[in-house]
Amino acid sequence: MDPVPVTLADRLVLHPDVALRPERFGALAYHFGNRRLSFIKHVDLLAVVEALDGERTVGEVLDSAGVDSGRHASFLTALATLSDSEVLCAT
């Protein structure tokens, strides 16, 4: 099943039960509640995840992280997968 899409207008934040472990390629994200391990496969994606504060919109965070609009689609897909596995949650 495809995850629920994330849009530029959404507000997201790291789930309080999730810990990030930075790695060469990005990070490991472990959810202590559902015990799922996710991989954040790119350092730029990690930078975005860390910048999400639940106040600014996803679009604003992508801009501030210097992700140009050509890469928005792939980041939105990645964020949707992370929301689906509850690494991120909506505010």
Q: Please identify which residue in 8, 11, 13, 44 interacts with other proteins, judged by CB under 8 A.
A: 44
Size of the site for other proteins (CB under 8 A): 27
Whole-angstrom CA distances from 56 to 24, 53, 80 are: 27, 6, 17
What is the distance between the alpha carbons of residues 43 and 22, in angstroms, rounded to a whole number?
Answer: 9
What is the distance between the alpha carbons of residues 45 and 26, in angstroms, rounded to a whole number?
Answer: 7
Q: Please identify which residue in 6, 26, 52, 62 interacts with other proteins, judged by CB under 8 A.
A: 26
Residues that bind other proteins (CB under 8 A): 19, 21, 23-26, 28, 30, 32, 35-42, 44-45, 71, 74-75, 77-78, 81-82, 85
